[in-house]
Structure 1
Amino acid sequence: MANFKGHALPGSFFLIFGIWWSIKYPLRYACKKNKKVCSFGSKVGLQRLEIIEGATKAVFALIGMIAEQFVPDGPHLKLYNSEEKQWSHLMNWQHSTMYLFYGISGVVDIITHTTKAVPVAIDRMMLSIAVFVEGFLFYYHVHGRAMLDVHVHLLLLVAVFGGALCIFLEVFHRGNIILELFRTSLCILQGSWFWQIGFVLYPPGGGPEWDQMDHSNMLFITMCYCWHYAFSLLIVAVNYGIVTWVVQTKMKNGESLEMELLKSREREEDSEDEI
């Protein structure tokens, strides 16, 4: 992660999942209210989606761990340098640990929805643990760094720990659309903020570097964080509106088709009576 690409990778991970959730949960909610016109809310369909989602999560986490370990200046699975008598590339190991827990969460998702050996709520519990571990690692990740570097990472922790708490509540209130949409907005915020950290600390294309000790930069970046969350809420709201409109349109078309079929049947019965 000690470069722009290292922040863009997890940022893309969270953005993809956040945008997917902003479509998935409103669609499931709308389909449950209108089961006649939408089969997406069926138990089998949801289980398949959860399995695919868990597999995708596990694959993304594996890619992240491989990238952290086997980049040219990475540790290559070497934790301790016996020659220099010191730990080797602890930053990379911390990032790998973060990806590891998300990978475990993906595997738990698959096990939970392919067998009946574990309670269904375990998938949310493990995801909550993975998000908490991410925040726990980042909290001790920036000690001794420049002021702006510490600040952008502490702002990230607001979304991380908020997401961990929200997912933990879902263990006891599974399927609550409010909690799911709130978690989705924080996930999108994490993704966009990882990209923002990359632009601030490692400007791509040789751009001008930010003054790490300028207080005005801290004021701006705090305000920028709020803009990121407003953008996240906008994505959730727009996708919710589009999904709801599509389902309602489909429902109206289905009702009109049923009315036409009913009228045609009545006409046939009337013609038979006349004969």
Structure 2
Amino acid sequence: MGSFEGHLLPGTFFLLFGIWWTVVIFDRYFRSLVNSALTKRSQVFKCRTSYTKYESYIKIISTIIGIVLEYWTALDKNYRFTHTGIIELMIHNGYPLPKGCDYLSLSLAIFAEGLLFYFHLHGRTSLDIHVHTLLIISIILSLISVLIEWIYRYHFLSAFCRTVCTLLQGFWFYTVGFILYPPFSQSPVGESHGKQMLITALFCWEIAAIIVLMSFIGSVFYCKNRKILQTNEYSVNYRLCESNVDFKCLVNDTNDKDFNENESHKLSSNGIKSSINHKYSTIVTSDDEI
């Protein structure tokens, strides 16, 4: 990975998957809202590490290409993502694997990536250490987001956070390549404190740019389904682990217990009201007959 191309390859890998996941999660999210609006029933949004088997094939092939081009230096970093792709492919083909093994495999792959990059810093220059430390931070954020999505598998924001972190890794791989191995210059960026602070600011700007990019893609899907959503009521049913959490129009969040108590209270109230109305109508009828 000690070249511009060596950083370009994994950066492209993470960018392509990040953009794909952005399109998929917004498509599934607004499809859930539209189905809820048309059927008048709450829909479920479910997160997955791989949404199609072709995605798993691409993950396996691209990581193998990375291993071949980088050989031993990239073997430890890439073969775990190949293993993740194989597990996802087995799940798509219906193999009876334990529930959550896809998230476990992806978590271990990201953890191994971060661990190897951490010990990759020995004997490096201060600039090299600085940019790779920021890369390790993005890897840690990716690991945390995957673990959160593993727990909150039925929440849109879980998938959103994982996609943000994946895109951040991709963009920062490109940035590291341009900083350490600039293709249009013979020497890397200077190692002054001011330039390192500027690099840190660039890292934060990329996070903001990623959120803007994803928001733009989300707004495209919203405009596509705006008429249906504006003329119909809708709700998405999010599940925490195995329990249901109902988010009515993404605003009122109640757990199962509160939701059931509210529903039973409404039913009992309606029963009392109907009983009173029935008694009142009986009294009125009796008075009329008298």
Place the TM-score, normalised by the shorter chain, in its bin: 0.7 to 0.9
* Match runs of 1:118-267 below 5 Å: 118-211=97-190, 213-249=191-227
Amino acid at match of 1:109: E
Q: Any stretches of 5+ residues in structure 2 without a counterpart?
A: 232-290
What does residue 26 of structure 1 align with? 26
Seen in structure 2, the aligned counterparts of structure 1 residues 175 and 151 have a Cα distance that, compared at 3 Å, is same
Q: Any stretches of 5+ residues in structure 1 without a counterpart?
A: 70-92, 254-275
What does residue 64 of structure 1 align with? 66
Query: How much has 1:182 moved relative to structure 2?
Result: 0.8
* Match runs of 1:4-15 below 5 Å: 4-15=4-15
- CA-to-partner distance for each residue in 1:92-130, whole Å, 9 max, x for gaps? x34221110111111111111211411342112211111
Seen in structure 2, the aligned counterparts of structure 1 residues 248 and 52 have a Cα distance that, compared at 3 Å, is farther
CA contact (8 A) 1:113 1:120 kept: no
Distance in structure 1 (CA, Å) of the matches to 2:83 and 2:95: 18
Distance in structure 2 (CA, Å) of the matches to 1:165 and 1:50: 23
Of Structure 1 and Structure 2, which has the larger fraction of its residues in strand? 2
Query: How much has 1:247 moved relative to structure 2?
Result: 2.9
Amino acid at match of 1:53: E
Distance in structure 1 (CA, Å) of the matches to 2:49 and 2:225: 21
Distance in structure 1 (CA, Å) of the matches to 2:99 and 2:212: 31
* Match runs of 1:37-56 below 5 Å: 49-56=51-58
Q: TM-score normalized by structure 2?
A: 0.72
Q: TM-score normalized by structure 1?
A: 0.75
Distance in structure 2 (CA, Å) of the matches to 1:16 and 1:29: 20
Secondary structure of 1:206 counterpart = coil
CA contact (8 A) 2:12 2:170 kept: yes
Distance in structure 2 (CA, Å) of the matches to 1:116 and 1:37: 35
Q: Percent identity?
A: 30
What does residue 268 of structure 1 align with? none
Distance in structure 2 (CA, Å) of the matches to 1:25 and 1:119: 24
Query: How much has 1:176 moved relative to structure 2?
Result: 1.6
Distance in structure 2 (CA, Å) of the matches to 1:178 and 1:251: 20
Distance in structure 1 (CA, Å) of the matches to 2:138 and 2:50: 28
> How many residue pairs were aligned?
226
CA contact (8 A) 1:185 1:232 kept: yes
Query: How much has 1:241 moved relative to structure 2?
Result: 1.3
Pairwise CA RMSD: 2.5
